Chains A and B, each alone.
Chain A
């Protein structure tokens, strides 16, 4: 016995994408899970605890889905390194469970043969056995085990008791673990892969009858959903419903959260504390965190939709339908989901780029994601549009205000496509681009439990970030807007005396061609915390009292103070400007360095300046000055 005797053995779950591995992981570990990141990379590390029927504890690791240990993406590299015990921070697995979709065994068998070569104990678990049976797939488990040379059990992750056989097998395996040796595995060449697949096909023929039929439901549904024209129309309809939900359903909850933080702020504001402490708590901490947490309902609803579509098997279809359209702009079909999410908020969008295998495709997507009109721009757009754009109809039925809003969205999308087109040629013209190759899984009914798990994980990841990176950004920005403090007997708003005001005045000559006055310059600084904070800052600068109708009041005042050209230029600025410290922080984290964050910041700032400059100058020339 060695010193590691009190450490529970590590069981690694490995399998193809869509094999139901995560559902199995959830079934095995229940709520005894924790999510973290592997050091240095952004791949989620999912670990949980289970105890076997005999009372033996084990650590279960859910590894990213893969077809081979020959890794093609950061996610798959993690799978390889963990399986091979190459990560210094992770314990090598004592047992590998190769999870396979029982109705789609062919590629899984090849993976199992590859895992066998690693030299650690491997147990094969045929998951979704119920679906396979229903589909007429007949598997002789004894023959399969004999031909593969591995123990084989079946499991139904989503059913009570569906993991009993697997747990019993784990007990047996963990009882007789061989001493851990060095893992041996060499990346197979084409010949090796070919031979392995032939061997897998031989095993399949020997052990499985009737493996190859296309699921009739999937075939029927795909006739419609993958129809070249109708499929696209349905995709757009799904997106429409999704956005409607993200905006409309989230609204009451967002109001509730924002009211809650306002109340909390007021409570602290009236507490018997020194003025500067009160301001720090109220305007720095509470307002800062509140302005981020207010997006939680949108993030929850968005991820709910994404996970439902993902679990249904529709995401692969969406990527299929969009591939050519996205490909024209140099984007990968899979970039579609992240970019879509970025309409709610670029932060989950950038996080969702993890589904893109190729690093360059992923970077391009991250680069353009902040150009998608996120929901934080809406308060600013709404303020300016309702104040400056007349509420009338054009062409008899289209509201002019709505049309301008649509134009701002369209400008963001067009810019994103154009930037990715340029980036592709500028940064990596050597490659024709990562090929689009992915499996289209059969449609499956999503399981409520796994949806709840998934949404809860995303929500807590978002909240953790709000509590760390974003909070520190907020405090920095609050400090800029609060120090130095106003002198005794000052008549102007306190922010006029701050560093923010000094910066605002200092950059006056630079923004003057855009038609921005110093109040706008100053408002843009707290606006770096979150775009919509600029609205409140403008309110402060023009000395508007807060309250229910504050936004409307600010609009009225702005209308009296700004020429139309300035308002339009500010709209153009907001389409492009990197006005969100949290997004930049997430880019830094996801790309693993300051370089790409700097590239994003500089190019967006450049575009914003040019767009605002052109808008202001053209509008003035047209008499809107």
Chain B
């Protein structure tokens, strides 16, 4: 079995399209919430494995925050929390 290349959503550029492969809380050490709570918040906003994502917009300073299309919803969040969302553009 081959592993597919993944990146953190928090490190993606505007225009990135792909899908979520995992939520990895260890990748977001500087997030503003405890890992279990951050995971639940992300899930409640629809960041679930398999959902399609597209990075639509970013802010002026440091490209932060970002606006992400998750399935049929647009969610704004900061990159440091989005680091926990592992994505791939592999089909």
Q: Mark B43-76, 1 if CB is under 8 A from A, else 0.
A: 1111011111000111111101101010111111
With A106-B73, A194-B48 as contacts: A70 and B65 at CB distance below 8 Å: no
With A106-B46, A193-B43, A320-B65 as contacts: A439 and B36 at CB distance below 8 Å: no
B41 touches A232 (CB 8 A): no
B31, B72, B76: which contacts A438 (Cβ < 8 A)? Answer: B76
Q: Mark A84-104, 1 if CB is under 8 A from B, else 0.
A: 000000000000000000011
B52 touches A323 (CB 8 A): no
Residue B13, interface by CB 8 Å:
no
Interface residues on B, range: 35 or more
CA distance A286 to B59 in the complex (A): 50
A68, A189, A228, A432: which contacts B31 (Cβ < 8 A)? Answer: A432
Closest chain A CB from B88 CB (angstroms): 18
A212 touches B60 (CB 8 A): no
Residue B2, interface by CB 8 Å:
no
Residue B33, interface by CB 8 Å:
yes
A105 touches B38 (CB 8 A): no
CA distance A430 to B61 in the complex (A): 25
Residues of chain A within 8 A of B61, CB atoms compared: 324-325
A323 touches B78 (CB 8 A): yes
With A67-B45, A320-B67 as contacts: A435 and B59 at CB distance below 8 Å: no
B60 touches A228 (CB 8 A): yes
Residue from B41, B59, B64 having most chain A Cβ neighbours under 10 A: B59
B81 touches A435 (CB 8 A): yes
CA distance A389 to B45 in the complex (A): 55
B57 touches A197 (CB 8 A): no
CA distance A110 to B50 in the complex (A): 16
B59 touches A324 (CB 8 A): yes
With A324-B62, A435-B81, A439-B74 as contacts: A226 and B43 at CB distance below 8 Å: no
Residues of chain A within 8 A of B49, CB atoms compared: 194
B59 touches A190 (CB 8 A): no
CA distance A229 to B52 in the complex (A): 28
Residue A276, interface by CB 8 Å:
no
B38 touches A435 (CB 8 A): yes
Q: Which 6 A-B pairs have the closest CB atoms?
A: A228-B60, A212-B72, A193-B43, A440-B74, A226-B57, A432-B32
- Measuring CB to CB, which residues of chain A are less than 8 angstroms from any residue of chain B? 67-68, 70, 72, 103-107, 110, 188-190, 193-194, 197-198, 201, 211-214, 222, 226, 228-229, 232, 316, 319-321, 323-325, 327, 333, 431-441
Q: Can you list 15 residue pairs at the A/B interface with Cβ under 8 Å?
A: A67-B44, A68-B44, A110-B46, A194-B48, A211-B71, A214-B56, A214-B69, A222-B56, A319-B76, A324-B60, A431-B32, A435-B41, A437-B41, A439-B74, A440-B67
